[in-house]
Amino acid sequence: MGPAPRRAVRLPHAGPVRRTRWRNWSRTVSAQPVTVARPRDEAEVAEVVTRAAAAGRTVRPVGSGHSGTAVAAGDDVSLDLRHLTGVRPVDPARGLVAAGAGTRLDALSAGLLELGLAVANLGDIDRQTLAGALATGTHGTGAAFPSLAGSVRGLRLVLADGRVVTCSPEQRPDLFAAAVVGLGAFGVVTEVLLHCPPAFLLAADEHPEPLEAVLDGFEERMSAADHVEFYWFPHTAVAMVKENTRRPLAEGADPLPRWRALLDDEVLANGVFAATCSAGTLVPGLVPSINRLSTRAVGRRRYTDLSHGVFTSRRRVRFREMEYALPRADLPEVLREVQRLIDRRGWRLPFPLEVRVSAPEDAWLSPAHGRATAWLSVQQVAAAPFVRYLTGVEEVLVAAQGRPHWGKLHTRTARDLAPLYPRFADAQRVRRAVDPAGTFASPHLDRVLGGVLGGGDAPTTRAGVVDLREGAQSVHHSPL
C-alpha cells in the first residue's frame, strides 16, 4: 500500500496559504510547511487531524523548536499548540494537575507554584513546551530522579483517525508506554496529567573539583546530593560541579544578590562566554588558554532558591549539541576515551562537555529505559564546524551502547536503535495500530523509528534513506 494521494484542501484553524519558513533554535533544521494550523482547543485539533488525514496529508505537531534534530520539522501541516496552555488542578492534595500540551515549562512552574506544587526535576532551560519536552525525553539530573516523563500519569491524545483518547499506566497501557516519550509519532498530545511534589527549594553548591577525582568515585559522587552534574572544559583537568539539595519551602530562600545573579548569568555565563567562544572560533590556538583561565576564574557559589530558578537558566549563546544516554557505570571510561580522542585529533573546543545522571524509566522509547543512566552532552559553538567533532565522539558513544537524545543531533537509524531498546518492536506495533496510514510520519521519523507503511523498517518516503551526514535531505536540512 502506498501513501494516499495528497489533496489540496483548505484546513480549518490554519493561517493563510503561504509557505512560511520554519527554523529550529540552533538553526540546524529548517522546513517549509504548506499549512500552519493553530487550533484553539482540543476539538479543533481533532478537526484539523481528521480533515488532513482524509486528504492524505501529513501532520507534525511542533513545540517551541528547541530540538536540534528534524523531529519537529514537517513539510505539510504543522500543528502549533500555543493556544492549548494552562495548569488545571485535578487533586492538588495528591499532587495531581493537568496541563495543556502547549504550556511552556516556565509557565508550568509558575502555575504549579500557585497551587503549592513544583515540577519534580527540570533540565537546563524552561523555554520548551510541555508536550515538546516530553516527546524527546527531556531530562535534568539526579541519580534517583527520572526525566520529565517520570512525572506523567496520563495523556490525552488526538489519534490519526481524529478520536480523542486518554491513556495512562492503567488505561491503554501500551499506548501510554509508547507515546509518553513518543516523538509526536503516536498522536497529538493535548493535555498531560502530572504528579508533582510540594513546592521546594534547592540549596545550590557550585564549585570546581579535579576531574579525575570526580571520575574515580563517579557513582558515589553523583549520588552525594539530590541533583549533581558537572561540566568539563576540554584542555583542562577541572570539573565544574553543581550540587543541588532539596530543602523544604519553610526553611526560606537565600538567593544570590540580584547584581551577582546578573553578573554570573548574563555577563559571565552568556556575555563573556559568547566573547570567548568567538575569540576561540577565530583563533583556535587560543582555546586551551581561554578554557584554563575560565575554570581558574570561577569560584564557589552557594545559594538557596525556588527549585525551578535553580534548575534552569538562560542560554543565549547558540550552540549545536549531541547527547547520549549511557549505562551509568561506564561513564568514567567513556569520558576518558573522549578525552584521548580530543587530544589525538588536536581539536580546539571552547564549549564544555556536560555530565548528568538519571534513574531507570519505564517509557519504551525513553533513552533511560530500563537502566541507570549517565548522560554525556557534547556541544559546539553554532558558528564553528561541528560535524567531524560530533560524529567522531559519537563513534565512542555508540561503541558504549549509548542511546541518542531524540532532540539532539545524531546519525542513528531505526536499524541501529532497535537492538538498544528492548520494547522498540512493541512501539512500532503500537504506531502501526494507531497511525496505519502514516498521518504523523515524517522523513526524520522514518529514519529513527522506521516507516509505518508496509511495516517493519521500510522508510515511508524517499527522504528517509538519505544519509544526513551529507546534509543532502530534500526537505529538511540537517547536517548531522
> 306 or 341: whose CB is closer to ligand FAD?
306
363 lines the binding site for ligand FAD (CB under 6 A): no
Binding of ligand FAD by 71 (CB under 6 A): yes
CB of 26 to ligand FAD, least distance (A): 6
Sorted by sequence, the CB contacts under 8 Å of residue 454 that are 6+ apart come out as 1
Instruction: Answer whether 444's CB lies under 8 Å from 404's CB.
Output: no
Stretch of 29-37, 63-71, 194-202, 327-335 contacting ligand FAD, by CB under 6 A: 63-71
CB of 319 to ligand FAD, least distance (A): 7
Residue 180 · residue 149 · CB < 8 Å:
yes
Instruction: Kindly state the smallest distance separating residue 48's Cβ from ligand FAD, in Å.
Output: 12
> Under 8 Å CB-to-CB from 35, ≥6 apart: which residues?
11, 14, 15, 17, 76, 77, 78
Please choose, out of 125-133, 394-402, 413-421, 452-460, the segment that lies near ligand FAD by the rule CB under 6 A: 125-133
Q: Kindly write down the DSSP assignment for every residue of 358-417, as one continuous string.
A: E--B--TT-TTBTS-EEEEEEEEETTS--HHHHHHHHHHHHHTT-EE-TTS-----HHHH
- Count interface residues toward ligand FAD (CB under 6 A): 33
Cβ distance to ligand FAD smaller for residue 101 or 143: 101
- If one asks whether residue 81 binds ligand FAD (CB under 6 A), the answer comes out as yes
443 binds ligand FAD (CB under 6 A): no
Contact stretch for ligand FAD (CB under 6 A) within 130-138, 201-209, 337-345, 415-423: 130-138
Q: Give yes or no for residue 61 binding ligand FAD (CB under 6 A).
A: yes
CA–CA separation, 468 and 472 (whole Å): 6
Our finding on whether 376 is near ligand FAD (CB under 6 A) is: no
Cell of 308: 525551578
DSSP notation for 414-439 = HHHHGGG-TTHHHHHHHHHHH-TT-T
Count the Cβ atoms, other than its own, within 10 Å of residue 47: 18
Residues 452-471 that bind ligand FAD (CB under 6 A): none
Question: In this chain, which of 48, 52, 97, 183 binds ligand FAD, going by CB under 6 A?
Answer: 183
Three-state secondary-structure class, residue 113: helix
CA distance 237 to 292: 9
- Tell me: does residue 215 bind ligand FAD (CB under 6 A): no
131 or 235: whose CB is closer to ligand FAD?
Answer: 131
* Residue of 14, 48, 101, 117 interacting with ligand FAD (CB under 6 A): 101
309 touches ligand FAD by CB under 6 A:
no
Sheet holding 188-195, edge to edge: 87-91, 96-100, 188-195, 152-158, 164-167
Concatenate the DSSP letters of all residues of 333-359 into one string: HHHHHHHHHHHHHT----SPEEEEEE-
Site residues (CB under 6 A) for ligand FAD? 25-26, 60-67, 71-72, 81, 101, 123-125, 128-129, 131-133, 135-136, 138-139, 183-184, 188-189, 315, 405, 407
